[in-house]
Amino acid sequence: MSRRKVREVMTADAVAVAEDTPIRDVAAVITATGFGALPVLDPAGRLTGLITAAQVLPPGPAGHHSFPQLNRWRRHRSTQAGGAGQRARDVMTASAEAIPVDASVAAAARSMERGRTSWLPVTDSAGYLVGIVSWGDLGRVFLRPDRDIQYEIIRDVFTRYLGTNPALVQVDVTGGRAVLAGVVEGKSMIPLAVAMCRAIDGVVDVVSYLSYAVDDIPHPPVHHLTGS
């Protein structure tokens, strides 16, 4: 099974802006690079937010953000009260979720799906920015046919590792979402099967309806208390 990490697919040396960068300069960087989002850093260089094209550029005719309209937007902003003084910190998404550099690509995909975003800043253990990962970066990992993911789950997780008779389990995969059903031998196998499925490239989410034949999880002894 593959356990590819975010560091293997992310865009390293991501372009970032400081919290006090004027909005007009943020827009210019987005226009020049074509990036849809930029990480925002505090004076110490730690990630504090994310600023997107949608937050600094005007929408185009079809709802897309039109980079050629930048000069017109600048003129418009300069006439607005306080607009010229706005900084990145004023419009950024301060609660932007980041993903650790050693997280799995599956974890990054789940974070993007949960946050309904196409971008995630990547940080090291100290909170410093080391890159940015997008759906485009994950594409070469997650654009796998559902039937290939299904086959890998049945072969590697249930048959090879857990030793389960494949006739006793059902695995359905749709859009990278794996649904597990059927019976495994021991109760302890269920969380292990779910965790292993999540680690497979292409799996975005796992839903388990698995049951078990034997409760093999040790339970603490029950001490009966008697009154004195």
CATH number at residue 181: 3.30.300.130
Two structure tokens written together for 31 = 């226009």
Q: What is the CATH number of the domain that holds 19?
A: 3.10.580.10
Q: What is the mean pLDDT of residues 133-160?
A: 87
Rounded to the nearest integer, the mean pLDDT of the chain is 82
Q: Which amino acid is at 221?
A: P
Identify the three-state secondary structure at position 222. coil
Looking at the predicted structure, is the pLDDT value of residue 18 above 90? Answer: yes
The two tokens of residue 169 are 């389990």
Do 121 and 26 lie in a common domain? yes
Tokens standing for residue 142: 């997650």
| CB-count exposure of residue 127 (10 Å: 0-12, 13-18, 19+) | middle
133 shares its domain with 159: no
Total structural domains within the chain: 2
Q: Which of 142, 174, 204 is the last residue of a domain?
A: 142
107, 135, 189, 194, 221 from 207: Cα distances, Å: 15, 22, 15, 8, 32
The mean pLDDT of 36-42, rounded to a whole number, is 89
- Let me know whether 44 and 127 are in one domain: yes
- Say if residue 173 is in the same domain as residue 64: no
Which structural domain, as residue segments, surrounds residue 210? Answer: 146-214
The more confidently predicted of residues 208 and 222 is 208
Give pLDDT tens digits for 50-106. Answer: 888 888 887 654 444 444 444 444 444 443 434 557 899 999 988 678 899 999 887
The region, left, alpha or beta by phi > 0 then psi within -120 to 50, assigned to residue 138 is alpha
**pLDDT over threshold 90, residue 113:** no
* DSSP code string of 62-117: TSSB-GGGHHHHHHHHHTSTTGGG-BHHHHSBTT---EETTSBHHHHHHHHHHHT-
